[in-house]
Structure 1
Amino acid sequence: MEIQTENRNYPLKRPQNHKPPVPRSTLKLPKSVDHIYTLYIGVQCHEKGTSDASKLQTSIQEWLDEDDGRPTAVDTFRVTHGFDLADSKVWVAYWTAADGFTKKLRSLDLAKRWRELGDDKRSVGLWCEHFFTPIERLETNYSSLLHQPGISQVPGSEFPGHDLTAYWGAGRDRIPASSYDRFEKPTEAQYPASAPKGVGQHLTGNNYDNMCHIRSGQWWTQCDQEEREAYENDLQKKLMGGMRYLWDNPEETGTLGLRILQNLDESGTPIRETCGAGFFRNWADLERWSSRHPSHLAIFNGAMSHAKRFGAEKKLMTWHEVSILKAGEAKFEYVNCDPQTGVIRWVPLKAERLSM
């Protein structure tokens, strides 16, 4: 869906005669695609040094590999930081058709997979967070086209350049629905009075109106030594500084369930690619942090400096995809999970006791 630049209810925030200092591209999905369906699944181990989680990891991988309802694209990770247990294995899968997505979900049954572990299940947690996004409420941005991450793997996609970048409010402008929707903060966006225990519980729930999800990635596989060291010793540290601020101030920033994920190759080996992925209370919360807080200004200025230093030879690619979700478009499920996992502390969830 193309972004409407004229005859909008709410005008673009783009300054007059704006010219971006660096080129950027966006994702144009095939005309047949009107929604993106996204599923995150994670397996965590509560006790270090045990291998109980490996059975579930194998089960989930085999389930994803089945032909029936196979996703369009799958990425695999390990959690390194954030609202989860470090070293948890995570998958994100994407579909472009509702029938394949719903068919696959029906066969997932997290609680059954957990119970089938027998005595091993006590030290293992299993969770999923899934949502569907109308393309008019989807926003993407890519600093280059050297790599196709996330939903950009959808066959038949195009990547037109754009000038809705490098000014405050550009992200909102890139959401097609922003021409008629302000994505107001919902009155029901309240935190639970007390957080569930998580372990020993089966927790389920869904999102309130205009909650947003972001996956923001960094790929530096093709960087030479000079650029790799420049990224890892400078910009990456600024990025993590911004993430720490979000984790340390979740109520102020609206950070609900943000993880840093290390991408893995097909053999399970870490590669030079990471992403931050998680939910936020509202798009306005992200805008406030990104436009005003020193931790994000350091990231933004660092990225501009990196681009200027390496110019046309730059191989570092940064990108993101954002979904603005209407009430009920996201669902959360946690089986025997640590209480710091995902949105457990931040979204009202129904709790059922598990038989341990």
Structure 2
Amino acid sequence: MESAIPRHLQCPRTLQRRVDDGYTPPFPAWTARPSRPGQTIVMALLGVQACGAHAERDACAGLRQIVAGLHAHGAPLHCDVAHQVDECGYVTMIAITYWRDVAAYDAWAGRPDIDAWWRAPARLTDGVGWFREVLAPAEQRYETLFSAPDRLEAGGAALGRLSQEIMEHGYWGSMRDRLPLSQTDPLSASGALTIIDGAPGPGARVRVAGHANLAVIRSGQDWSDTAGEERRLYCDNIAPVLRAGMDFLRDAGTSVGCYANRYMQQRDVAGRPVEKTFGLSYWHSLTELERWAESHATHVAIFGTFMQVVQELNFALRLRLYHEVAVLTSGQQRYEYVNCHARSGILNGLPRES
């Protein structure tokens, strides 16, 4: 067993973990490792939204345009495609892409054909909304967790390597303890979301600046390998409670520090739903994310239901779970929305007078 924090980032702690050195996790878990020390990762959400009678058709057509551009020179290391109907009833399709570093993403996004398409006036009039949310955490500000060692997801698939079994999991506070910077930094949030230029809403372009130590989590579920009683328990018991918690964060998350939440179902390359979902949410701070996870009724219900199922199945699960967490500096975030409604993504966290 090893620490989730890579050896080259370990240092004398000035802030203690929630558990002592003798702690033994109740079940195994793993984290993704970069292929080389100092490697960063960029997570770029490239999305389209549509409403009206032909929303599904229009959103899928928009996503095909986005994905076609990804096949150009400088393609991402990994891409997931996912679908959601947001809090305003808009069908949303996103290509969640992972790049090896900011330079690789910028080289792709700066290609004349890609850049000209994005900036074209037609993006304001072609009947759908477009957005780019680009997150570039330093290695010290990013962590992952996997319940199984043989299938990496999300940013882990881009990093490509897996640790041995790790110690820092299975207790409240372990998410923070896996972040290398948490050894010496409380990761306290400061500042607020601000508009750089433009205005939110249909027919407009807007860019938003994130603030220091804004937290992002993508937390996924893969039930494609489940069968029999485990599948029934997941679909009938866990999934509805999970959906209720995700809907709370989508509709009322600002009351607990969550700027925005998307609960999405993944799709394959042909656009068909697959048995994978994830929640992806933006938080004012890691502390507020931790508080919701530890004490809010919606997450207590998710955790309690999951543990009942785990115990009923005697820990013999084929359900796969994972997450990735980033706590970002203001300079590690870029948000841009074109012809999108005013509650899209991080716009939902702006003061309403904005």
Using structure 1 for the length normalisation, give the TM-score: 0.88
Q: 1:249 aligns with which of 247, 252, 269?
A: 252
Distance 1:131 1:83, change over 3 A: farther
Contact 1:57-1:89 at 8 Å conserved across structures: yes
Query: What residue number does 1:131 align with?
Result: 135
Cα RMSD between the aligned structures?
Answer: 2.6
1:228-256 per-residue CA deviation (whole Å, 9 max, x = no partner) reads: 11111111122122223323433331111
Report % sequence identity: 25
Q: Does 1 or 2 have the higher relative contact order (CA < 8 Å, sep 6+)? A: 1
Distance 1:64 1:7, change over 3 A: same
Query: What residue number does 1:339 align with?
Result: 342
1:20 Cα deviation after fit = 1.7
1:164-192 per-residue CA deviation (whole Å, 9 max, x = no partner) reads: 11222111101011001101121x22688
Query: What residue number does 2:144 align with?
Result: 140
Contact 1:227-1:310 at 8 Å conserved across structures: yes
**Quick one: distance in 2 between partners of 1:118 and 1:328?**
27
Query: What residue number does 1:226 align with?
Result: 229
**Quick one: distance in 2 between partners of 1:327 and 1:169?**
24
In the alignment, does 2:39 pair up with 1:34? yes
Amino acid at match of 1:173: D
**Quick one: distance in 1 between partners of 2:261 and 2:251?**
11
Distance 1:61 1:181, change over 3 A: same
Moved more, 102-111 or 280-289: 102-111
Contact 1:28-1:158 at 8 Å conserved across structures: yes
Matching of residues 67-106 of structure 1 within 5 Å: 68-80=73-85, 82-83=86-87, 85-106=89-110
Contact 2:25-2:167 at 8 Å conserved across structures: yes
Amino acid at match of 2:227: D
Query: What residue number does 2:219 align with?
Result: 216
Amino acid at match of 2:43: T
Q: Secondary structure at the match of 1:24?
A: coil
**Quick one: distance in 2 between partners of 1:70 and 1:83?**
31
Amino acid at match of 2:312: R
Distance 1:208 1:110, change over 3 A: farther
Amino acid at match of 1:134: A
Amino acid at match of 1:39: A
Moved more, 20-29 or 52-61: 52-61
In the alignment, does 2:62 pair up with 1:56? yes
Paired residue total: 343
Contact 2:263-2:280 at 8 Å conserved across structures: yes
Where does the alignment leave 5 or more consecutive residues of structure 1 unmatched?
352-356
1:64-117 per-residue CA deviation (whole Å, 9 max, x = no partner) reads: 111x1110000001114x456443211100011332211112134387466346
1:306 Cα deviation after fit = 2.5
Contact 2:33-2:161 at 8 Å conserved across structures: yes
Amino acid at match of 2:64: T
Q: 1:45 aligns with which of 37, 50, 55?
A: 50
Contact 1:69-1:104 at 8 Å conserved across structures: yes
